[in-house]
């Protein structure tokens, strides 16, 4: 049936399997592995999809029961642990707690000869959810000092950073700065667009004129858009997020994923 390089990249396959596993995670019961495989053909070969599912099984993310066409899969770990890097999981946990009203300010001045370490630090703090105020000055509402110190210690750049903690004192209200620092309006617009994408896909699922591959492509676009938006979301305290559409977008995709999984199990014949 061809090899994966000719029919779709390994990275795309991994992401699309991830999106199907999200569909399965919305159900209170296991689902046939062959449903996932059928949704991804003919873009990917049977062997390529089966190999990826086996890899996730060996890593302990999913439980695979049975073999061949009768095999079913369910989750052993929370779905979030599959798609979110550890730093982002930690950020999600922090955002669920009451904010202590303090801001953490990171300032660094790393020499040009350590440019690669400076780039590594910038990437690390971005993943932690820090926002750039200006130049080498970054801010976060959460206490991530220990993680920062450990990272900088490993990189041997502790002598080039300063971490401050305190409350807002004077000057322009930081609430007015949040959108510019974290591009909140842009992210919120993405969440609103995702809700519309989910509605469009839901209509496609309901229509008999659309094939499984057509509605699945729409579903995958919505899934990818939401996971990308979540990775860019700083998960600020609620007081900075007026009319925030994240929860509505997550609920819209969750409902769509459940509907899509039921549709797939109904229409895809495993003979």
pLDDT band per the 50, 70, 90 thresholds, residue 1: very low
CA distance 140 to 129: 7
* Strand-pair category, 72-75 with 103-108: unpaired
Torsion of CA 132, 137, 142, 148, to 10 degrees: 110
How many residues belong to the chain?
A: 271
Report the pLDDT averaged over residues 212-216: 89
Render pLDDT for 121-165 as a digit per residue (tens, 0 to 9): 999 998 888 999 888 999 999 998 888 999 999 999 999 999 998
What tens digit of pLDDT does each residue of 98-122 get?
888 899 999 999 999 999 999 999 9
Query: Is CATH 3.20.20.70 correct for 4-81?
Result: no
Of 12, 18, 7, give the one whose Cα is nearest residue 43.
7
| pLDDT score recorded for residue 121 | 95
Say what the pLDDT of residue 5 is: 40
Helix (H) or strand (E) holding 24: helix 10-25
DSSP code string of 59-100: TTSEEEESSGGG-EEEESS-HHHHHS-HHHHHHHHHHTSPP-
SS3 helix, strand, coil % of the chain, rounded to 5? 60, 10, 25
Domain ranges of the chain: 4-81, 86-178, 183-267
pLDDT, tens digit, 9 for 90 and up, residues 69-101: 778 888 776 666 666 655 555 666 667 778 888
Judge if the upstream peptide bond of residue 118 is cis by omega within 30 degrees of 0.
Answer: no
Question: Residue 4: what pLDDT?
Answer: 36
CATH class held by domain 86-178: alpha beta
Render pLDDT for 153-209 as a digit per residue (tens, 0 to 9): 999 999 999 999 887 665 667 777 888 899 999 999 999 999 999 999 999 999 988
pLDDT for 271 equals: 55
Q: What is the mean pLDDT of residues 220-242?
A: 90
Average pLDDT over residues 48-57: 85
Convert 253-267 to b/e letters by CB count within 10 Å (16 or more is b): bbebbbbbbebbeee
What's the number of CA atoms in the CB half-sphere (13 Å) around residue 21? 26
Q: Are 200 and 228 in contact (CB under 8 A)?
A: no
List of residues 6+ apart from 204 with CB closer than 8 A: 210, 214, 215, 218
* C-alpha span between 264 and 213 (Å, rounded): 10
Q: What is the mean pLDDT of residues 4-28?
A: 78
What are the Cα distances from residue 263, in Å, to 157, 242, 247? 53, 35, 24
Name the more confident of 225 and 90.
Answer: 225
Tell me the whole-structure pTM to 2 decimals: 0.84
Tell me the pLDDT of the chain averaged across its residues: 85
Closest CA to 245 of 233, 231, 258: 233
């Amino acid at each position: 049936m061809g090899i994966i390089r000719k029919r779709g990249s390994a990275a795309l396959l991994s992401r699309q399997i991830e999106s199907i596993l999200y569909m399965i995670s919305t159900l209170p019961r296991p689902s046939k592995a062959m449903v996932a495989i059928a949704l991804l053909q003919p873009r990917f070969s049977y062997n390529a999809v089966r190999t990826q599912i086996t890899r996730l099984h060996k890593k302990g993310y999913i439980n695979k029961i049975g073999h061949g066409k009768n095999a079913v899969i369910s989750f052993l770990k929370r779905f979030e642990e599959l798609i979110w890097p550890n730093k982002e999981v930690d950020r999600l946990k922090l955002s669920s707690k009451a904010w202590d009203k303090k801001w953490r300010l990171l300032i660094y001045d790393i020499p040009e000869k350590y440019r690669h370490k400076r780039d590594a630090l910038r990437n690390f703090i971005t993943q932690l959810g820090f926002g750039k105020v200006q130049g080498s000055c970054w801010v976060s509402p959460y206490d991530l000092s220990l993680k920062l110190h450990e990272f900088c210690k490993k990189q041997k750049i502790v002598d080039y950073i300063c971490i401050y903690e305190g409350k807002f004192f004077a000057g322009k209200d930081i609430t007015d700065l949040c959108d510019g620092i974290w591009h909140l309006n842009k992210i919120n617009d993405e969440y609103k667009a995702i809700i519309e994408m989910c509605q469009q896909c839901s209509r496609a699922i309901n229509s008999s004129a659309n094939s499984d591959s057509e509605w699945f492509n729409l579903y995958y676009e919505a899934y990818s858009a939401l996971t990308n938006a979540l990775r860019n979301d700083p998960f600020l305290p609620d007081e900075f997020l007026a009319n925030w559409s994240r929860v509505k977008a997550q609920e819209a995709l969750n409902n769509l994923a459940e509907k899509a999984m039921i549709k797939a199990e109904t229409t895809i014949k495993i003979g």
